[in-house]
Amino acid sequence: MTMTPKAVEHLLTQDARLLARRDAPVIDQELEEQRQVALEIFFQWQDGMREFQDLMPFCVVLQRKVDLNRDLLRWERRHED
């Protein structure tokens, strides 16, 4: 899987975040933990401490979950406060 930094940032800060919170106020803890680990690696990459490829295992899993829930995400975006 090849992703750009912009696509990874969107996945981590938008799509996966929204998916983890879809049952608000209850957060999907497993998904949120994966997202937080990936987000930390993303920040470390921005600081020059990690390789961008270190993110790919996390992004593949998160993207697969987002893809499986894409219709739900679209509906929730349309109905956000």
Decide: residue 2, CB within 10 A, 0-12 exposed, 13-18 middle, 19+ buried. Answer: exposed
Percentage of the chain lying above the pLDDT 70 cut: 95
Contact status, residue 14 vs residue 77, Cβ threshold 8 Å: no
Q: What CA–CA distances, in Å, run from 74 to 29, 51, 54?
A: 21, 31, 29
pTM, two decimal places? 0.80
Question: In this structure, what DSSP letter does residue 53 have?
Answer: G
Render pLDDT for 13-50 as a digit per residue (tens, 0 to 9).
Answer: 999 998 888 776 778 889 899 999 999 999 999 999 99
Torsion of CA 31, 36, 42, 46, to 10 degrees: 160
71 pLDDT band (50/70/90 cuts)? confident
Q: Where are the domains of the chain?
A: 5-78
